[in-house]
Chain A
Amino acid sequence: MALLPAGYLAVRAADGGLDRLLATVASARTLELLVRTAGLAVAVTVTSVVLAVPLAWLTVRTDLPGRRVWAVLSALPLAIPTYIGAFAFVAALGPRGMVRDWLAPLGVEELPSIYGFPGAWLALTLFSYPYVLLTVRAALRRLDPSLEEASRTLGRGTRATFWHVTLPQLRPSITAGALLVALYTLSDFGAVSLLRFDSFTRVIYVQYQASLDRSAAASLGLVLVALTVVVLAVETRSRGRAAYHRLHAGGGRTPPVSALGRWRWPAALACGALVGVALVIPLGVVTYWLVRGLAAGEPLRLTATLVGHSLSASALGAVASVAAAWPVAVLAARHPGRLSRLVEGASYAGYALPGVVVALSLVFFGARVAPAIYQTRTMLVLAYVVLFLPQAVGAIRASLLQVNPSLEEASRLLGRSKVATTWSVVLPLVRPGALAGSALVFLTCMKELPATLLLAPTGYQTLATQVWNATSEAFFGRAAAPALALVLLSALPMAVLVLRESEREPAAPATGTTGSGPPEPDEEALAVSGWRPAPAS
């Protein structure tokens, strides 16, 4: 199912004949696009890591003022769809945007242009760094503090310990988050179109938009698939070799909290600045549209039906994705090897392709092969699974890896069947991961657009389609209420989970003290994948 989009692309590209496929793929333009797109993906990924790792450390391991608040807020930009966020950036930071209007009395005529690479880089980084943040935060929480303590005992300073002990251990989680950021950057259309950066996705859209040239678009799509395979290969390589043992497999201690000293307030200020740009600017602009629209007598355009459709389709998408991810995750966690890596990799196929390509491939499949479910909610949920499966797979796998296989063995030895063991032993332990994975998928389904427009039942409207309807005619006032509702509702489950995890942490700096009880792997499961402890001995 997940390979359907790639298969569809192959069929469509072959339509145009092999010569044409080769001509498109080998053209100078394609090469240029490849360089530009890869450049954007690398830039966004690197910046996301640079932002997210210190932020994760600050919100997990230090006495940052208002740490819990920052923990929640810093994860929320993920809930802002790029097609709203980039719109807001243009409105606020554009050459003639709101910020210029404020600065105008100071003699600022025009701000530097945010169009092209800088804007796309900024927007994509700010709306996708939480993928890295969440994975790294989870890993930080699970680090065995004794390693760091050993390093300190052996005479290394705080900084040297961080660089030589902590950071290397975070590598798998950084890579896992970075993978999602990189693949998301490849597939995103909202930011690159509004900020006018010619990436593969934008050009594929142009092919459809201008000429409905499906075979040319499909050829470019295949190049994108190839690029995805390269990214996955890089990721596999970097997570494959090292082993990351945890000495206390089941119940570790709460890691120590570092005192920031005189850096406490500057650090809080930095968090504030990031949240300000990534969260307050977009939400502020949308709120401004709302107020202006209400003042002009625009209707709210926010009905219970819209909310209901959005919530139910996304919730079903989340549940179905988790269900579909289960076997893939079990395979990847319990039977690592070439085959399981292949299956896991295949689940990424739908994720890295532009939404419209995946949607059209499912239109092709649905209308011709499964007309009974075509344009029903079942079809829509199926599309969400194809699109967002990897998010659920990663979360569940990360959780599964934490379940000591000896627990399962004990259950089997005591006479429980395999099914009963899964149900009564594994499932409860993996529950936080499944829940977090579904929160992530839920959030992503809420903002999904192309598949919803093409595959939902005719006349089935959601918050996202309503936002699209209004903005496509530049009725920003009418888009504002559904847009705000969309962001707030999709962020809710994520916020609850992050908050819940933070509540369990010690509030005061307590360097070196030992926490009691096993830390429950909750947020780590929001984290999408990455931790690979060796099987407990």
Chain B
Amino acid sequence: MTRRPLVSLLVTVTVLLAACGGSGGDGGGDAASEAAPTLTVYSGRSEELVRPVIEQFEGETGVPVQVRYGATAEMAGAILEEGDNSPADVFFAQDAGALGALSSEGRFAQLDAGTLEQVDPQFRSVNGDWVGVSGRARVAVYNTALLNEGALPDSILDFTDPSWKGRLGWAPTNGSFQAFVTALRVIEGETRAREWLEGIQANEPKVYGGNTAIVQAVAAGEIDAGFVNHYYLHRVKAENPDFPAANHLFPDGDVGSLVNVAGVGILEGSDQPDEARQLVEFLLSEPAQQYFSAETFEIPLVDGVAADPSLPPLETLQQPDLDLAQLSDLEGTLRLLTEVGVI
């Protein structure tokens, strides 16, 4: 009697092993040895987002693609550890920092000038070995019922004015916010960055867990304005056009409207450089650029691509004078945020 659960457990495990033992292999472990060459992509961007583009690429070119999904940093770490034996042909990263790290370790092959030139120099590698695919801008989102855009300052630095007391929201633990603080440190220096954080802190901002929460709080009138990435508002507005909020872009290359990019590079030593190039070209082609703009409301980086009409045109975004690949000292930023008592 008492033996039964044990026996059934054993049987279940055995059956499952037998059943799955055969099917597990088509996950791709043996694919490398198969005859048809497969392009291997390491993606730091999520499958939800990337898979449709890859499927379209496969359909158009007939090049079979396998994608390994993970967090950008871990994928980059894996590529570094794999060294020359990396199975990856292409790395598609969420942010410029990881691309910069691989570039400086010499892990990327040179891209063609024709590929690079499609994208403005500020959104690609200074070494010519990775290229931005889509961009996201930092903005201040504000409540349109409570404020006119004219009431918002031209520089994010001016939000330290005491008139903003109790009216602001931010998400200090958010990665994009922290990248902005890193840029602030690089551009304005450590002292000014600290002063800004202390100034905002003195205005008693409400703290949120993420960008979406800030956008919702702004629309609810809980706060007048908050610091976010541009696309969260667009996602909400796509479902609810009357949502009472708008994005404010800081003009004249203000650090408040820093644009960070997702981008792509080809691994040095890839055994399929031609197919890899085809994929990079595809990501910069009109259909793929439009897909990112329509699906994620990110900003297409290729000139002349018709973006979603609600998005700020690329020309209006004036990037502060900064190499995105420099935004790597997150540890220093976290220390500063901790010292100021923000996190």
- Using a CB–CB cutoff of 8 Å, the interface residues on chain A facing chain B are 29, 90, 94, 96, 196, 198, 203, 205-214, 216, 305, 308-309, 311-313, 315-316, 356, 359-360, 363-364, 367-368, 371, 374-377, 435, 450, 453-454, 456-461, 465, 469-470, 472-475, 478, 493, 496-497, 499-500, 503-504
Contact at A209–B83, with CB atoms within 8 Å? no
Partner of B20, one of A309, A435, A453: A309
Partner of A206, one of B13, B31, B83, B334: B334
Q: Give Cα A394–Cα B83 distance, bound, in whole angstroms.
A: 37
CB within 8 Å for A196 and B80 given contacts A210-B329, A212-B98, A469-B48: no
Contact at B48–A459, with CB atoms within 8 Å? no
Q: Give Cα A29–Cα B17 distance, bound, in whole angstroms.
A: 47
Partner of A371, one of B40, B69, B85: B85
Contact at B209–A94, with CB atoms within 8 Å? yes
Closest residue on chain B to residue A522 by CB atoms: B6
Chosen A-B contacts, 29 in total, with CB atoms closer than 8 Å, are A29-B335, A203-B331, A206-B330, A208-B73, A209-B330, A210-B331, A214-B77, A363-B82, A364-B81, A367-B86, A368-B83, A374-B87, A375-B87, A377-B24, A435-B6, A435-B9, A456-B27, A457-B31, A458-B67, A458-B87, A459-B27, A460-B27, A473-B46, A474-B212, A478-B48, A493-B9, A493-B13, A499-B5, A500-B5
Minimum CB–CB distance for B49 against chain A, Å: 7
Q: Would you list which residues of chain B between 46 and 70 have a CB under 8 Å from chain A?
A: 46-49, 66-70
CB within 8 Å for A212 and B80 given contacts A315-B13, A453-B70: yes
Contact at B80–A309, with CB atoms within 8 Å? no
CB within 8 Å for A210 and B328 given contacts A29-B335, A459-B28: yes
Contact at B48–A475, with CB atoms within 8 Å? yes
Excluding A29-B335, A203-B331, A360-B77, 16 further A-B contacts by CB distance (< 8 Å) are A90-B209, A208-B74, A210-B73, A214-B80, A315-B13, A316-B17, A367-B87, A458-B40, A458-B66, A460-B27, A469-B48, A470-B48, A473-B48, A473-B49, A475-B48, A497-B5
Q: Give Cα A423–Cα B310 distance, bound, in whole angstroms.
A: 72
Closest residue on chain B to residue A450 by CB atoms: B74
Residues in A with CB closer than 8 Å to B85 are 367-368, 371, 374
In the A-B complex, the 9 residue pairs with the smallest Cβ-Cβ separation, listed nearest first, are: A210-B330, A312-B20, A460-B27, A457-B29, A367-B82, A376-B29, A209-B73, A212-B101, A364-B81
Contact at A206–B331, with CB atoms within 8 Å? yes
Partner of B24, one of A206, A313, A360: A313
Residues in A with CB closer than 8 Å to B47 are 469
Q: Give Cα A377–Cα B173 distance, bound, in whole angstroms.
A: 36
Q: How large is the interface on B (under 10, 10 to 19, 20 to 34, 35 or more residues)?
A: 35 or more
Minimum CB–CB distance for A168 against chain B, Å: 32
* B78 at the binding interface (Cβ < 8 Å): yes
Closest residue on chain B to residue A311 by CB atoms: B16
* B213 at the binding interface (Cβ < 8 Å): yes
User: Helix, strand, loop or mixed for chain B's interface?
Assistant: helix
Contact at A211–B67, with CB atoms within 8 Å? no
Minimum CB–CB distance for A6 against chain B, Å: 16
Q: Would you list which residues of chain B between 65 and 103 have a CB under 8 Å from chain A?
A: 66-74, 76-78, 80-83, 85-87, 97-98, 101
Partner of B17, one of A198, A213, A312: A312
CB within 8 Å for A469 and B74 given contacts A500-B2, A500-B5: no
Closest residue on chain A to residue B88 by CB atoms: A458
Q: Give Cα A65–Cα B37 distance, bound, in whole angstroms.
A: 63
Q: Give Cα A496–Cα B21 distance, bound, in whole angstroms.
A: 24
Q: Would you list which residues of chain B between 311 and 334 have a CB under 8 Å from chain A?
A: 328-331, 333-334
* B19 at the binding interface (Cβ < 8 Å): yes
Partner of B66, one of A29, A90, A377, A459: A459
Q: Give Cα A461–Cα B173 distance, bound, in whole angstroms.
A: 29
Contact at A212–B76, with CB atoms within 8 Å? yes
Residues in B with CB closer than 8 Å to A203 are 331
Q: Give Cα A450–Cα B68 distance, bound, in whole angstroms.
A: 12
Q: Would you list which residues of chain B between 183 and 224 have a CB under 8 Å from chain A?
A: 209-210, 212-213
Q: Give Cα A257–Cα B337 distance, bound, in whole angstroms.
A: 56
Partner of B27, one of A364, A377, A450, A454: A377
Minimum CB–CB distance for B84 against chain A, Å: 9
| Interface core residue of A453, A456, A459, A474 (most chain B CB under 10 Å) | A459
* B240 at the binding interface (Cβ < 8 Å): no
Minimum CB–CB distance for A470 against chain B, Å: 7
Minimum CB–CB distance for B212 against chain A, Å: 7
Q: Give Cα A478–Cα B66 distance, bound, in whole angstroms.
A: 22
Q: Give Cα A236–Cα B292 distance, bound, in whole angstroms.
A: 56
Contact at A458–B97, with CB atoms within 8 Å? no
Closest residue on chain A to residue B42 by CB atoms: A458
Q: Give Cα A205–Cα B10 distance, bound, in whole angstroms.
A: 38
Contact at A360–B81, with CB atoms within 8 Å? yes
Q: Give Cα A211–Cα B100 distance, bound, in whole angstroms.
A: 9
Closest residue on chain B to residue A312 by CB atoms: B20
* B163 at the binding interface (Cβ < 8 Å): no
* B306 at the binding interface (Cβ < 8 Å): no
Minimum CB–CB distance for A375 against chain B, Å: 6
Closest residue on chain B to residue A469 by CB atoms: B47
Contact at B27–A210, with CB atoms within 8 Å? no
* B23 at the binding interface (Cβ < 8 Å): yes
Contact at A500–B6, with CB atoms within 8 Å? yes
Contact at A308–B20, with CB atoms within 8 Å? yes
Minimum CB–CB distance for B75 against chain A, Å: 8
Contact at A367–B9, with CB atoms within 8 Å? no
* B30 at the binding interface (Cβ < 8 Å): yes
Q: Give Cα A315–Cα B27 distance, bound, in whole angstroms.
A: 17
Q: Give Cα A211–Cα B66 distance, bound, in whole angstroms.
A: 27
Q: Give Cα A196–Cα B208 distance, bound, in whole angstroms.
A: 13
Partner of A469, one of B69, B328, B338: B69
Contact at B69–A212, with CB atoms within 8 Å? no
Q: Give Cα A472–Cα B338 distance, bound, in whole angstroms.
A: 25
Minimum CB–CB distance for B12 against chain A, Å: 8
Partner of A308, one of B23, B49, B76, B80: B23
* B126 at the binding interface (Cβ < 8 Å): no
* B146 at the binding interface (Cβ < 8 Å): no
* B343 at the binding interface (Cβ < 8 Å): yes
